[in-house]
């Protein structure tokens, strides 16, 4: 049989080659430019068929499409991002993981500079200003029960909008995992380790359970590199940290390498790099607080000039942000009990009011009339709830109301405590009823 000439036909037949999909239609999007490739997929600049802002489309590599585990991992990246919904995390608009075609998801197209391309050593105030935004994103990620596991300067993008201050975005959740799952040193195609070695915490290298403190470690490595111009550990020292009984001595303090670095900032970064997780900051929020106490979280500016960092130098990352993007509406996290003996499924919710909410979910969505048991995180506590599926909310309806796509739930026999917390929302925060 002759080799297929259609890239999509090659994909469907599982040919072990990477195909160029420029000029093709994937769903409602025409791929017009290849922007780059990673271990899991390729990213294209795309235009919606019916018009609108350009987007970025990430497509799973064809040679990986026959591996069910890798297909699930790729789809989970998009779902992970959507579950969290945070202004410092790249937004996902659409996902298609149908088994009969290419797996892809559609995300915002950002224009900016990855921190790996910014000049270093970096001015301490600018560093703290950037890391503080990354900590805000990580705190939201960890509260949703997710560990990023591949934080590094390439995945931290400084974007700019006309008339607005620069904004840091956290990218690439391709190896993210929920806390119970993030417990093994997983291998990808060809046996490579998921994650970037120079930024991986010792427990991640050793295949031990990881949590948010592993991301704090990676952000500490990033901060050390940016403020000193060098990594804290050589490859040999990194291996010692994992396998030697006591490991190598701590890295040199940043203020010893760069006299302009405050000693207080050195102490904060070295604590984030501690070998044992319990010796680091307990959370990204604690890391941010310590950074702010060590250095004023703002770059030095000329008197009379607006207090904002200068435009970063270096090549632009091939993604662009929509102008005038509104502040996202309030979101909540729920943990749904979906099977006996399985860990609860962490989901993102929106449109919460006294009657019910919109719960994000993947296809196939549960049919109307289904009762779901879940705990809803409200007011710093988890409240047990039962909801009845009233209808499905498709992507078009969701975008029109700035809500997640999924199902609209009506509370069934809400407890007195749930009713009390719902009353505290107030009319200003109550979203349009989901029924």
- Which tens digit of pLDDT belongs to each residue from 238-249? 555 555 555 557
Residue 48 domain flag:
yes
pTM for the model stands at: 0.61
Instruction: Taking residues 406-419, report their average pLDDT.
Output: 91
What residues make up the domain containing 269? 112-318
Lowest-pLDDT choice from 120-129, 165-174, 274-283: 165-174
Position 423 confidence tier, pLDDT thresholds 50, 70, 90: confident
130 contacts: CB under 8 Å, gap ≥ 6: 115, 156, 158, 168, 226
Q: Is the pLDDT score of 213 beyond 90?
A: yes
Residue 326 corresponds to which tokens in the numbers above?
């509104």
Q: Are both 125 and 216 inside the same structural domain?
A: yes
Question: Which is the catalytic residue, given 150, 154, 211, 215?
Answer: 150
Q: Are both 138 and 284 inside the same structural domain?
A: yes
Which of these three, 263, 284, 318, is where a domain ends? 318
Position 131 confidence tier, pLDDT thresholds 50, 70, 90: very high
**Residue percentage of the chain with pLDDT more than 90:** 25
Q: Are both 14 and 121 inside the same structural domain?
A: no
Euclidean distance between CA atoms 157 and 317, whole angstroms: 8
Residue 270 domain flag:
yes
Which of these three, 267, 296, 318, is where a domain ends? 318
Residue 159 corresponds to which tokens in the numbers above?
């974007």
Q: Are both 164 and 286 inside the same structural domain?
A: yes
Residue 119 domain flag:
yes
For residue 249, the domain's CATH number is: 1.10.510.10
Q: Are both 271 and 361 inside the same structural domain?
A: no
Residue 227 corresponds to which tokens in the numbers above?
């403020």
Q: Is the pLDDT score of 280 beyond 80?
A: yes
CB atoms within 10 A of CB 242: 17
Residue 323 domain flag:
no
Please, what's the b/e burial string for 149-163 (b: 16 or more CB within 10 A of its CB; e: otherwise)?
A: bbbbbbbbbbbbbee
Euclidean distance between CA atoms 343 and 346, whole angstroms: 9
Residue 435 domain flag:
no
Residue 9 is predicted with a pLDDT of 47
Q: Is the pLDDT score of 287 beyond 90?
A: yes
Residue 341 is predicted with a pLDDT of 65
Lowest-pLDDT choice from 27-36, 277-286, 353-362: 353-362
Strand partners, 29: 26, 48
For residue 400, the domain's CATH number is: 2.40.10.220
Q: Are both 174 and 263 inside the same structural domain?
A: yes
Q: Is the pLDDT score of 44 beyond 70?
A: yes
pLDDT digits (tens, 9 = 90+) for 289-308: 999 999 865 444 333 333 33
Position 430 confidence tier, pLDDT thresholds 50, 70, 90: very low
Residue 311 domain flag:
yes
For residue 56, the domain's CATH number is: 3.30.200.20
289 contacts: CB under 8 Å, gap ≥ 6: none
Q: Are both 100 and 155 inside the same structural domain?
A: no
CB atoms within 10 A of CB 166: 18
Lowest-pLDDT choice from 92-101, 209-218, 250-259: 92-101
Q: What is the DSSP letter of 41?
A: E
Q: Are both 311 and 200 inside the same structural domain?
A: yes
Q: Are both 373 and 291 inside the same structural domain?
A: no
Instruction: Taking residues 296-322, report their average pLDDT.
Output: 39
Phi, psi of 156 (to 5 degrees): -120, 110
- Is residue 351 within 8 A of residue 389, CB to CB? The reply is no
User: Is 150 part of the annotated catalytic residue set?
Assistant: yes
Residue 59 is predicted with a pLDDT of 87
Residue 32 domain flag:
yes
Instruction: Taking residues 44-58, report their average pLDDT.
Output: 88
Q: Are both 304 and 382 inside the same structural domain?
A: no
Euclidean distance between CA atoms 10 and 222, whole angstroms: 40
Euclidean distance between CA atoms 43 and 26, whole angstroms: 13
Q: Structural domain tally of the chain?
A: 3
Q: What is the DSSP letter of 115?
A: G
Q: Are both 224 and 263 inside the same structural domain?
A: yes
Q: Are both 369 and 303 inside the same structural domain?
A: no
Which of these three, 108, 138, 154, is where a domain ends? 108
Q: Is the pLDDT score of 53 beyond 60?
A: yes
Residue 370 corresponds to which tokens in the numbers above?
């289904």
- Is residue 31 within 8 A of residue 57, CB to CB? The reply is yes
């Amino acid at each position: 049989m002759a080799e297929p000439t259609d890239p999509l036909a090659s994909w469907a037949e599982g040919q072990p080659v990477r195909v160029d999909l420029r000029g093709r239609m994937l769903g409602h999007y025409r791929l017009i430019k290849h922007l780059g490739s990673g271990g899991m997929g390729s990213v294209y600049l795309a235009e919606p068929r019916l018009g609108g802002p350009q987007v970025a489309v990430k497509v799973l590599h064809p040679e990986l499409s026959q591996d069910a585990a890798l297909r699930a991992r790729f789809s989970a990246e998009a779902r992970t991002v959507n579950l969290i919904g945070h202004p410092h995390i790249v937004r996902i608009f659409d996902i298609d993981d149908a088994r009969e075609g290419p797996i892809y998801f559609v995300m915002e197209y950002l224009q900016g500079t990855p921190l790996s391309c910014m000049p270093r050593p970096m001015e301490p105030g600018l560093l703290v200003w950037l890391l503080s935004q990354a900590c805000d994103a990580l705190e939201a990620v960890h509260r949703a029960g997710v560990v990023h596991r591949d934080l590094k300067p390439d995945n931290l993008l400084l974007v700019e909008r006309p008339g607005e201050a620069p904004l840091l975005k956290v990218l690439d959740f391709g190896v993210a995992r929920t806390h119970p799952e993030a417990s093994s040193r997983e291998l990808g195609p060809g046996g490579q380790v998921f994650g970037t070695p120079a930024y991986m915490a010792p427990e991640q290298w050793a295949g031990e359970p990881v949590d948010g403190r592993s991301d704090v470690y990676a952000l500490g490595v990033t901060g050390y590199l940016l403020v000193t111009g060098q990594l804290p550990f050589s490859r040999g020292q990194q291996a010692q940290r994992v396998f030697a009984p006591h490991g190598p001595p701590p890295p040199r303090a940043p203020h010893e390498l760069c006299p302009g670095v405050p000693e207080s900032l050195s102490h904060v970064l070295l604590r984030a790099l501690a070998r044992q997780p319990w010796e680091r900051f307990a959370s990204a929020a604690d890391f941010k607080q310590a950074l702010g106490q060590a250095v004023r979280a703002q770059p030095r500016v000329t008197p009379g000039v607006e207090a904002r960092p200068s435009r970063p130098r270096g090549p632009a990352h091939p993604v662009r942000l929509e102008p005038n993007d509104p502040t996202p509406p309030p979101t909540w996290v729920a943990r749904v009990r979906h099977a006996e003996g399985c860990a609860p499924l962490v989901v993102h919710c929106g449109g919460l009011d006294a009657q019910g909410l919109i719960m994000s979910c993947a296809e196939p969505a549960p049919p109307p009339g289904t009762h779901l048991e879940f705990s809803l995180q409200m007011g710093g506590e988890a409240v047990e709830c039962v909801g009845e599926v009233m209808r499905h909310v498709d992507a078009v309806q969701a975008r029109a109301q700035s809500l997640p796509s999924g199902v609209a739930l009506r509370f069934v026999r809400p407890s007195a405590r749930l009713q009390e917390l719902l009353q505290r929302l107030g009319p200003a925060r109550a979203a349009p009823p989901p029924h």
